[in-house]
Structure 1
Amino acid sequence: MNDYLSMFLETLFGFTALFFLTKILGKTQINQLTPFDFISALILGELVGNALFDKEAGIGKIAFAIVLWGVLLYLTEISTQKWKRTRVFMEGSPDIVIYKGKLIRDTMKKSKLDINQLQHLLREKDVFSIQEVEYAILETNGKVSVLKKAASQTPTKQDLKVASQEVHLATTLINDGEILYDNLQEKNLTEEWLLEQLHDQGYIRPAEVFYAEYIRDKQLFLLPFTNRNHSKFE
């Protein structure tokens, strides 16, 4: 019984320690893996290695550790789905590293991202000069999403002899039926304005909307939770 209790405590410690390790390493160290994919790969590899090469580790103990680890991952996924506030803490959130053509040094420092790494990530998006970038977002998997300046988009405005237009970044205003007030405030929008936009498109409450995206000078883009026109398969 003491052996299982010891394994339980050690697994919990490993789960917590490796989670915080991924936070310390930063997003670019994980590359394409999400933090929990990275943790799972390490732990499961270690468990399988113990099962194969550690003569003192019996099948029962290894199975117990694997099941316990699986339960922890399952509970983590459930918590991020059920409680939205845990998503940012557990999974991280995208960070803007280039805003209106300017590098955000504080964000780069927080994400352990230097200029050479950023240039490498941009080249993967076929961007060979920071001057071409209007917005760049460091995603939770360590990749960079890029929105080029209008003059550098394909086909370019210069090639088409069309006057360049200002580029606007899309902003999420509703997620899972909940208003993101910080984003509203950032765009100098009010809740009353948002509700009016919902009513204009036939929605009564934000709880009816799964996702709402705002781009300046465009109609608010809405996705409902379900197709309200079809309650069953036809």
Structure 2
Amino acid sequence: MKYLDTVMELVIGFMALFIITKMIGKRQISQITPFDFISAIVLGELLGNAIYDKEIGLLYIISTLLLWGVLMVLVELITQKFRKTRGFLEGNPSIVIRQGLIDRKELNKNKIDINELLNMLRQKDVFSVREVEYGILEADGKMSVLKKSKYTQPTIEDLGLTKKPSYLPFALIIDGEIVLDNLKNSGFDEKWLQIQLNNQGFDRAKDIFYAEWKQDEGMHIVPMKEKA
């Protein structure tokens, strides 16, 4: 009997989850907001705990899943009907790169460091921050990138121009500290780096938030504080 009860509870729970999913509507995994993610975890925990708790009956499982499902649908309806609630319930996108400049306040606000930002850009096939005009961190944690006009299509193949080799940029300074491994791999030393900084009006690596070297374009520097 216990085995049959467990089977019955699993079947009912599966059907309830299926119905709730249909009620909420279609949504791609990449579009799930933090609230949706937490709701899915809570829903799974409610079902799992209810099924394997001997003192909880079938009616409790159905009523619990139904109540949570109604709350989720209610939140969806509120965000659809009342635009002002969307920012609070779903989150707002954040512009972390604006007109080619990294917005450190937005990075700190979203608990993102420069390494995470670079990782997100590489996932969008952007290997240098100098290529980005605008970088927008969406509510679901994905990065949307608008490249500068010189890095967008048409490509050199479209224009029939001679191909040039591609070079990988090296991050030489991050958060005011020299990345010695990258500096060595790029074929330079600290003396060379200091000369590059001096040429652009900087005395210390501590004054640099991010700096990268690319063979065909030279040094790109993002200072700790923008110059007036």
Q: TM-score range by the shorter chain?
A: 0.5 to 0.7
Instruction: Tell me the distance in 1 between the aligned counterparts of 2:135 and 2:158.
Output: 24
Instruction: Tell me the distance in 1 between the aligned counterparts of 2:48 and 2:38.
Output: 15
Instruction: Tell me the distance in 2 between the aligned counterparts of 1:120 and 1:57.
Output: 46
- Structure 2 residue matching 1:52: 3-state secondary structure: helix
Aligned pairs for 1:1-234 within 5 A: 33-156=32-155, 160=159
Q: Contact 2:51/2:61 (CA < 8 Å) preserved in 1?
A: no
Instruction: Tell me the distance in 2 between the aligned counterparts of 1:96 and 1:74.
Output: 30
Instruction: Tell me the distance in 2 between the aligned counterparts of 1:119 and 1:31.
Output: 20
- Structure 1 residue matching 2:135: 3-state secondary structure: strand
User: Is there any run of 5+ residues in structure 2 with no aligned partner, and where?
Assistant: 1-28, 161-228
Structure 1 stretches of 4+ with a deviation exceeding 4 A read 156-161
- Structure 1, residues 136-180: CA drift from partner, whole Å, max 9, x if none? 00001100000001111133589849xxxxxxxxxxxxxxxxxxx
- Structure 1 residue matching 2:154: 3-state secondary structure: coil
Q: Contact 1:35/1:141 (CA < 8 Å) preserved in 2?
A: yes
- Structure 1 residue matching 2:144: 3-state secondary structure: strand
- Structure 2 residue matching 1:147: 3-state secondary structure: strand
Aligned residues: 133
* Structure possessing the higher radius of gyration over alpha carbons: 2
- Structure 2 residue matching 1:49: 3-state secondary structure: helix
Deviation at 1:54, TM superposition (A): 1.6
Deviation at 1:124, TM superposition (A): 1.1
Deviation at 1:51, TM superposition (A): 2.7
- Structure 2 residue matching 1:142: 3-state secondary structure: coil
Alignment-mate amino acid for residue 75 of structure 1: L
- Structure 1, residues 26-60: CA drift from partner, whole Å, max 9, x if none? xxxx9763122202221111012113322222221
Alignment-mate amino acid for residue 110 of structure 1: K
Instruction: Tell me the distance in 1 between the aligned counterparts of 2:94 and 2:155.
Output: 27
User: Is there any run of 5+ residues in structure 1 with no aligned partner, and where?
Assistant: 1-29, 162-234
Instruction: Tell me the distance in 1 between the aligned counterparts of 2:156 and 2:104.
Output: 30
Alignment-mate amino acid for residue 77 of structure 2: I
Deviation at 1:73, TM superposition (A): 0.7
| TM-score, length of structure 1 as denominator length | 0.52
Q: Contact 2:34/2:140 (CA < 8 Å) preserved in 1?
A: yes
Instruction: Tell me the distance in 1 between the aligned counterparts of 2:156 and 2:106.
Output: 31
- Structure 1, residues 91-113: CA drift from partner, whole Å, max 9, x if none? 11111000011001111111111
- RMSD of aligned alpha carbons: 2.5
Q: Contact 1:151/1:157 (CA < 8 Å) preserved in 2?
A: no
Instruction: Tell me the distance in 1 between the aligned counterparts of 2:128 and 2:159.
Output: 21
Q: Contact 1:151/1:158 (CA < 8 Å) preserved in 2?
A: no
Alignment-mate amino acid for residue 96 of structure 1: I
Instruction: Tell me the distance in 1 between the aligned counterparts of 2:157 and 2:98.
Output: 22
